[in-house]
Amino acid sequence: MDQAKVQSLFRRFAAPLEGYAAISAERKEGAEFMARTLWTALIAGPEMEEETWKILTTTGKLDADSLRAIQELYYEKMKPVVTDEELADLRQRYQLKRKEQA
């Protein structure tokens, strides 16, 4: 998967946040941050998704209703945009190499 395809796929993934981002520059910045955060969680897998929800609750100080709204948006509108094949390609493209232990 080349960079242009990755960028196109990310734009489609992030599209559900556009309405929120259109309200103000501050919200646009927040929506872009959220899209990048959720994109990273998607590529990293289910454990990172769970960690992301925990961080948004603790560090991000989201209440249960706000978290639920983000989770619904992610699971129902964002995540389905990426096919299993595309996700496998993304995971291969961004595979992190582990440091060898001494």
pLDDT for the residue 99: 42
Residues 43-76: tens digit of each pLDDT: 999 999 999 999 999 988 889 998 999 999 999 9
> Is the separation of the CB atoms in 17 and 35 below 8 Å?
yes
pLDDT for the residue 96: 52
Residue 42 maps to a domain: yes
Does pLDDT of 27 surpass 90? no
Parent domain of 73: 3-93
Does pLDDT of 100 surpass 50? no
CB-count exposure of residue 87 (10 Å: 0-12, 13-18, 19+): middle
pLDDT for the residue 73: 95
Residues 2-24: tens digit of each pLDDT: 999 999 999 999 999 988 777 78
Torsion sign, CA atoms 46, 48, 67, 80? negative
Residue 102 maps to a domain: no
Q: Which residue has the higher pLDDT, 97 or 21?
A: 21
Q: How many domains does the chain have?
A: 1
Residue 99 maps to a domain: no
Token pair, residue 93, equals 């493209």
